[in-house]
Amino acid sequence: MDAEELEGFRDFVDNRSSALLRTAVLLSGGDRHAGEDLLQNALAKAAGRWERIDEPEAYVRQILYRQQVSRWRLKWRRRELTVAEPPETRSAPDTSSAAELRVVMREALSRLTARQRTVLVLRYFEDLPEAEVARLLGCSVGTVRSTTHRSLARLRVLAPELAALGAADTELRPSGDHLPVEVRP
């Protein structure tokens, strides 16, 4: 990589790393450390091919998605779900501020399987059409639809506090991006 390409890569990282990190953290179930690792690996792969990349953000995002798919495929064989906190029931928060909604949504997403979380992040946070999600994950559109349906149903069961916060009519706005949430009681 010559000096000009190196400067272009550094500019890209400076300008887009926060948005890419938000996506990586969501893909990793709200675990910031895992999200940082995911993003760092994606940027390292992109740096090696930087001179041949036409659309750097799309390229890095695709690496993020594929790495996460690889991670949940490996975890699938292990069949052990590790979480930071024990799965105790939580009471519904008193207010419905956007900050509380983000915290509740992050916790709820972390309680889903990696595959369910990945599909929901791609469909609703990244706002990708079903066909694009299917292409990225290497599955059929029907699989994306059924996984989305089951994931939302599980989210409703695991996080009824979202309905109490009024998440059915509220859009989560993680720093400029939108994550529409449909929660039915």
110 pLDDT band (50/70/90 cuts)?
A: confident
Task: Report which of 147, 128, 150 is spatially closest to residue 139, judged by C-alpha positions.
Answer: 147
| DSSP for residue 130 | H
How high is the pLDDT of residue 147?
A: 94
| Cβ neighbours of residue 57 closer than 8 Å, sequence gap 6 or more | 12, 16, 20
Mean local confidence (pLDDT), 41-59: 90
Mean local confidence (pLDDT), 118-137: 90
Residue where the block lists tokens 């029907």? 142
| DSSP for residue 94 | S
Tokens of 60: 């890095």
Least reliable range by pLDDT among 45-49, 51-55, 101-105, 119-123: 101-105
Tokens of 167: 């998440």
Mean pLDDT of the chain: 79
How high is the pLDDT of residue 168?
A: 41
Mean local confidence (pLDDT), 158-177: 54
Q: Alpha carbon of 130 to those of 27, 78, 120, 127: distances in Å?
A: 17, 28, 11, 9
103 pLDDT band (50/70/90 cuts)?
A: confident
Q: Is residue 158 scored above 70 in pLDDT?
A: yes
Put simply, whether the predicted model's pTM sits higher than 0.75 gets the answer no
Query: pLDDT: is 54 or 78 the higher one?
Result: 54
Residue where the block lists tokens 């889903």? 112
Tokens of 59: 């390229």
In the Cβ-directed half-sphere of 33, how many Cα atoms lie within 13 Å?
1
How high is the pLDDT of residue 68?
A: 86
Residue where the block lists tokens 């997403």? 109
Q: What is the largest CA-CA distance in the chain?
A: 57
How high is the pLDDT of residue 181?
A: 47
Do 68 and 38 touch, CB atoms closer than 8 A?
A: yes
